[in-house]
Amino acid sequence: MLRLVYIYYGTLLPGWSTLRAFGQGRRHFIVLWLKYWVIYALLQALGVLTDFLVGGLSFYAGLKFILSVGLWFSAPYSTNHLFDLLDKHAMGIFGPLVEEGVRWHEEVNRNICRNFMQTQLGAVIMPKDVDEQASEPQINNHLLKKELSNLMAQIGKDEAGHRRQHERSIRQYSPQYLQAAEMHRDSMHLSQRSGDQQQGGYKSSSAVPEAGHPK
């Protein structure tokens, strides 16, 4: 019965709170509950050691239960303080040991996987030719060349469009272009005025004989 209490309050409720914090995207509580699980793992490891050393004492079970209840109902803030305390005072001492243990564990895992792959069961589960095919993807050279040519053509079109737009903007706002445009407008205006004057002269010359013609 006491074991079920430990599982419910120490594992299930914190697990549900962690899942809810991740689901709601509450970064503050996510960090707090991740620190809780670090302290939880350390206390579990320490509990195995203390159970072996002082588990036979009469007051040990009651003291462990009281400390656990205090930790459960104050989490994750109490575990946050414990994490900061360990990070400040203990990680400088035990940090290199933990990193060395992690490297040793990874090396052991690699050796186990390598030895497993050399067995018949490993060859059946993951054949070498399948592994090589998975590590070396097949490439369609024709399709690759086609995609590259299309990409280069699109890049060329984009560069040409940007170049034309840039030249157009330079011509539009350059002093030489503005001066040439103004001269063109002036010449068009002068030619239009001269045309109007010539047309008016033709009308006046044609109207004079009509006025002096005898009836």
- The pLDDT value given to residue 197: 64
What predicted TM-score, i.e. pTM, was given to this entire model? Answer: 0.48
Cα pseudo-dihedral 159, 165, 168, 173, rounded to 10: -120
Does 201 fall in a domain? Answer: no
- The pLDDT value given to residue 130: 46
Whether 40 and 66 map to the same domain: the answer is yes
- The pLDDT value given to residue 31: 92
Structure tokens at 88: 């400040």
**Angle in degrees, 0-180, between the axes of helices 60-72 and 77-89, rounded to the nearest 10:** 110
Does 215 fall in a domain? Answer: no
Which position has the token pair 């303080």? 81
- The pLDDT value given to residue 134: 46
Enclosing domain of residue 174: 139-181
- The pLDDT value given to residue 124: 65
Query: How many CB atoms are located within 10 Å of the residue 36 CB?
Result: 23
Buried b (16+ CB within 10 A) or exposed e, 64-80: beeebeebbeebbeebb
- The pLDDT value given to residue 22: 92
- The pLDDT value given to residue 211: 45
- The pLDDT value given to residue 95: 73
In angstroms, the CA 176 to CA 89 distance is: 75
φ and ψ of 90, to 5 deg: -105, -25
Structure tokens at 50: 């203390």
Q: What are the mean pLDDT values of the chain's consecutive 10-residue runs (215 residues total)?
A: 86 92 91 92 88 85 88 89 85 77 86 78 60 52 77 82 73 62 72 66 50 45
Whether 81 and 17 map to the same domain: the answer is yes
Number of domains in the chain: 3
Whether 127 and 143 map to the same domain: the answer is no
Whether 149 and 126 map to the same domain: the answer is no
Whether 147 and 127 map to the same domain: the answer is no
Q: Which amino acid is at 119?
A: T
